[in-house]
């Protein structure tokens, strides 16, 4: 029979894991068996740099953490080795990085399940999330879209100025 101290420690681990899951916008659960130390170190480094928290967790503790939540359906995939990657503000970072590692060797590293905004999503949806560009690339694309009409207008105005020589006399003649 486990001691009271061990039980309290496990309860705290479950509470911390529940809080981490509740605070995150997305999470991916993986089976990491067979990954070598060098790849695991590189994976953890990439996840850390992207702001993703990666935790190896016991299946029983994760089942307790998601019990009585919308994520309880993920309990079915909690067998074997399990790690969870959660992120509070980036919806695609965990999926993108973990899918890259899963595609390297399907026998050593597999994505089991995931969630997005508190709802369980399929492995196919995780793969589609992984194919989305990063937040920075999306923001740059949006900025370019907003900037394009302004840049076109500026080029058109400059072409009118260049065509008329000096812009001021042409503007005065047009006003008369």
Question: Looking at the structure, do residues 154 and 116 belong to the same domain, yes or no?
Answer: no
Say what the pLDDT of residue 164 is: 78
Question: Looking at the structure, do residues 34 and 109 belong to the same domain, yes or no?
Answer: yes
Question: Looking at the structure, do residues 74 and 92 belong to the same domain, yes or no?
Answer: yes
Question: Looking at the structure, do residues 123 and 145 belong to the same domain, yes or no?
Answer: no
Least confident range from 97-101, 157-161, 172-176: namely 172-176
Question: Looking at the structure, do residues 33 and 83 belong to the same domain, yes or no?
Answer: yes
Question: Looking at the structure, do residues 8 and 63 belong to the same domain, yes or no?
Answer: yes
Q: What is the DSSP string of 54-123?
A: EEE--HHHHHHHHTTSGGGGGGGG--SS-EEEEESS-SSHHHHHHHHHHHH-TTT-EEEEEEETTEEE-H
Question: Looking at the structure, do residues 56 and 33 belong to the same domain, yes or no?
Answer: yes
Total Cβ atoms within 10 A of residue 165:
9
Tens digits of residue pLDDT in 141-160: 888 888 778 878 788 888 88
Question: Looking at the structure, do residues 146 and 71 belong to the same domain, yes or no?
Answer: no
Q: What is the pTM (predicted TM-score) of this model?
A: 0.71
CATH number of the domain within which 44 lies: 3.30.70.1730
Can you say whether the dihedral through the CA atoms of 52, 56, 60, 61 is positive or negative?
negative
Question: Looking at the structure, do residues 94 and 166 belong to the same domain, yes or no?
Answer: no
Full residue range of the structural domain in which residue 171 is found: 136-175
Number of structural domains, the chain? 2
């Amino acid at each position: 029979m486990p001691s009271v101290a061990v039980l309290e420690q496990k309860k705290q681990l479950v509470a911390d894991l529940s809080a981490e899951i509740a605070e995150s916008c997305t999470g991916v659960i993986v089976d990491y068996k067979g990954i070598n130390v060098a790849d695991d170190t590189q994976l953890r480094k990439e996840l850390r740099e992207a702001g993703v928290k990666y935790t190896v967790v016991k299946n029983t503790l994760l089942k307790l953490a998601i019990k009585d939540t919308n994520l309880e359906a993920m309990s079915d995939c909690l067998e074997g080795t399990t790690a969870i990657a959660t992120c509070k503000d980036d919806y695609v970072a965990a999926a993108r990085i973990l899918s890259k590692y899963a595609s390297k060797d399907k026998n050593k590293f597999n994505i089991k399940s995931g969630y997005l905004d508190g709802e369980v999503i399929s492995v196919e949806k995780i793969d589609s999330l992984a194919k989305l560009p990063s937040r920075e690339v999306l923001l740059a694309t949006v900025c370019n879209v907003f900037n394009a009409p302004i840049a076109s207008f500026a080029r058109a105005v400059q072409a009118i100025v260049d065509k008329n020589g000096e812009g001021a006399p042409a503007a005065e003649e047009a006003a008369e």
